[in-house]
Amino acid sequence: MTTLLSLPHSPREFGFYLDGAFHGGRPLFERASPAHGVPVSRIPKCTVADLEAAVVAARRAFEDRRWAGLPGAARGAVLLRAADILRRRRDEIAYWEVLENGKPISQARGEIDHCIACFEVGAGAARLLHGDSFNNLGDSLFGMVLREPVGVVGLITPWNFPFLILCERVPFILASGCTMVVKPSEVTSATTLLLAEVLAEAGLPNGVYNVITGSGRSIGQALTEHPDVDMLSFTGSTAVGRSCVHAAADSNFKKLGLELGGKNPIIVFADSDLEDAADGAAFGISFNTGQCCVSSSRLIVERSVAAEFEALVAAKMARIRVGDPLDAATQVGAITTAAQNDTILGYIARGTAEGAQLLAGGQAVDLGRGQYIAPTLFAGVTPDMAIAREEIFGPVLCSLRFDTVEEAIALANDTVYGLAASVWTKNIDKALTVTRRVRAGRFWVNTIMAGGPEMPLGGFRQSGWGREAGMSGVEEYTQTKSVHVELGKRAHWVTG
Ligand code: NDP
């Protein structure tokens, strides 16, 4: 018997989800567990005609107001029921995240808890979403600002957090009254399809949530170009984000929400609790094997303590438990795709060739099957090195040094990105000065990776457009309509 801590005996075949029903009959993409190398799932390779049908279903469900026309309280009730069902199915969904993504089971379970919270916050947001009024336009004119759902949303999600990134968007899209067509990464589609079961059981009307599976280059590209999709929410690489902007401009000027890459600084002052900060640095780059848009990948450390601090981080990295993600004790699991594995190892080789000094890791970990990389620390990194500038998307931390607060801020901002940042100091002046001056959409002071779905998420600069989660996350999927109401008799324009 297969248990939730052993591998399935045979790969499970999934159907794609269109207008309230699962469908099969398409060629299948077989996904092997990146941690174990055995096939775990078979996912339909949908056609562009399937995508077309999904957009038609989502459009119909939007226009007949079966969802947008409900009171916010009714939409919120569906989201709360979904949260309850997720609580019941937590371990099963976490298991599928492990099988397809390679992340540790304990981490995956924590992520599902976060997803449950997203649905609960989304439920509250559905009830609280409101517009505005203007009572200051003079006695003869009254102004109302209505918030209306944007319409049909295309949602493209990546493979690093297949369920978490999905759930940081779906409840908020649903709270707004929009309908959607989701295209998950082909390599991690299972849990996006499991969410369809959850939402159906929670009472979501047919056609509101549709999932079309297949590759990014075929289905994803077609979704970005679709003229009847009103908004596209994309999370992934900056290169594909750029192609989404072109596709939107060349089709229907669809609204865009983009969450792209990051090269996030962790700034450590000499006056910080160095043990705490070293733990934060080791965690910030190793969490999800560094395949995380908010990974703290650039250590910017005050020169007077740099050598001591780097040694502390290296020692902690050496103690991180890299292993089989189905083992509850594992802290760092597998690299999700072979291509990503090659990319990370390529950057490690490049760092060494560029003259950086390897203080920890620096190589693949051989567990007999699957692909794993040891948490890695490079010291002596200079700002011009590729490993300091480019998003590696792996467990590779690069250490740069500073002498003054101004220098720390300048180094932190020396990137095209602006997703997240962290600062460690006991001095409130330094903490707040750095927080105000470093350009990043998410900031941590003496902590890292903390937070919940109440607060908005998103990036500055080339890290993206728009905000997800919180009330901003719902508002992102709405547009405002300004309504002017004449009170009493209107003064005539034609007087002759
Ligand atoms: P992509 O940007 O290619 O993939 C992200 C999503 O976009 C996936 O669903 C993918 O589908 C889809 N996609 C791919 N090509 C297109 C396209 N032309 N039009 C529309 N959708 C498309 O990321 P990669 O998988 O190639 O990863 C490369 C790099 O991107 C990483 O090394 C990392 O730097 C960055 N990245 C950042 C993420 C983030 O959270 N900010 C997440 C993932 C990657 P499919 O997978 O089926 O091809």
Which residue of 155, 237, 263, 416 sits with most ligand 1 atoms within 8 Å of its CB, as the best mutation to test the pocket? 237
What is the rounded average pLDDT of the residues 177-191?
98
Between helices 190-202 and 72-88, what is the axis angle to 10°? 120
**Cα of 238 to ligand 1 centre, how many Å?**
8
Report the chain's C-alpha Rg in angstroms. 24
391 catalytic? Reply is yes
What is the rounded average pLDDT of the residues 1-28?
89
- Band (pLDDT 50/70/90 cuts) for residue 4 is low
Q: Which residues line ligand 1 (CB under 6 A)?
A: 156-160, 185-187, 215-217, 220-221, 224, 235-237, 240, 243, 259-261, 293, 340, 343, 391, 393
d(CA 463, CA 421): 12
The single residue of 391, 468, 475, 476 carrying the catalytic annotation is: 391
Q: Report phi then psi at 221, rounded to 5.
A: -60, -45
d(CA 49, CA 27): 14
Q: Report phi then psi at 24, rounded to 5.
A: -125, -150
**Cα of 158 to ligand 1 centre, how many Å?**
6
Tell me the pLDDT of the chain averaged across its residues.
97
pTM exceeding 0.95: yes
CA pseudo-torsion sign 220, 224, 226, 230: positive
Return the ligand 1 atom nearest residue 262 CA: 41
The pLDDT tens digits of the residues spanning 31-80 come to: 999 999 999 999 999 999 999 999 999 999 999 999 999 999 999 999 99
Beta-strand ranges (E) seen in 163-243 are 179-183, 209-211, 231-235
Return the ligand 1 atom nearest residue 161 CA: 40
481 catalytic? Reply is no
**What's residue 496's pLDDT?**
85
Among protein residues, the one whose CA lies closest to atom 38 of ligand 1? 236
The pLDDT tens digits of the residues spanning 301-325 come to: 999 999 999 999 999 999 999 999 9
The pLDDT tens digits of the residues spanning 216-255 come to: 999 999 999 999 999 999 999 999 999 999 999 999 999 9
Residue type (1 letter), 270: A
**Cα of 236 to ligand 1 centre, how many Å?**
4
**What's residue 37's pLDDT?**
95
The single residue of 46, 244, 293, 398 carrying the catalytic annotation is: 293
**What's residue 2's pLDDT?**
47
Q: Which two tokens stand for residue 250?
A: 């060349």
d(CA 397, CA 379): 9
> DSSP string spanning 273-324?
-HHHHHHHHHHHHHGGGG-STT-EEEEEEEHHHHHHHHHHHHHHHHTS-B--
The single residue of 100, 259, 310, 468 carrying the catalytic annotation is: 259
What is the rounded average pLDDT of the residues 465-486?
96
Which residue of 43, 215, 219, 240 sits with most ligand 1 atoms within 8 Å of its CB, as the best mutation to test the pocket? 240
> DSSP string spanning 350-404?
HHHHTTPEEEE--SEE--SSS-EE--EEEES--TTSHHHHS---SSEEEEEEESS
Of all residues in the chain, what percent carry a pLDDT higher than 90?
A: 98
Which of 89, 82, 335, 332 is closest to 190 using CA atoms? 89
The pLDDT tens digits of the residues spanning 353-399 come to: 999 999 999 999 999 999 999 999 999 999 999 999 999 999 999 99
**What's residue 1's pLDDT?**
43
What is the rounded average pLDDT of the residues 96-100?
98
What is the rounded average pLDDT of the residues 90-113?
98
Return the ligand 1 atom nearest residue 223 CA: 20
293 catalytic? Reply is yes
Among protein residues, the one whose CA lies closest to atom 6 of ligand 1? 158
The pLDDT tens digits of the residues spanning 399-433 come to: 999 999 999 999 999 999 999 999 999 999 999 99
Flag whether pLDDT at 146 surpasses 90. yes
Checking DSSP bridges between strand 21-23 and strand 16-18, what pairing results, if any? Answer: antiparallel
**Cα of 426 to ligand 1 centre, how many Å?**
38
255 catalytic? Reply is no
**What's residue 5's pLDDT?**
75
Among protein residues, the one whose CA lies closest to atom 19 of ligand 1? 221
Question: In 10 A of CB 353, how many CB atoms?
Answer: 11
Task: Give, in degrees to the nearest 5, the angle at Cα 58 between 56 and 59.
Answer: 60
What is the rounded average pLDDT of the residues 158-183?
98
**Cα of 431 to ligand 1 centre, how many Å?**
34
The pLDDT tens digits of the residues spanning 245-281 come to: 999 999 999 999 999 999 999 999 999 999 999 999 9
Flag whether pLDDT at 162 surpasses 60. yes
Among protein residues, the one whose CA lies closest to atom 12 of ligand 1? 216
What is the rounded average pLDDT of the residues 443-456?
95
**Cα of 402 to ligand 1 centre, how many Å?**
34
Per-residue CA distances from 119 to 65, 75, 85, 428 (Å): 21, 11, 11, 35
Return the ligand 1 atom nearest residue 224 CA: 20
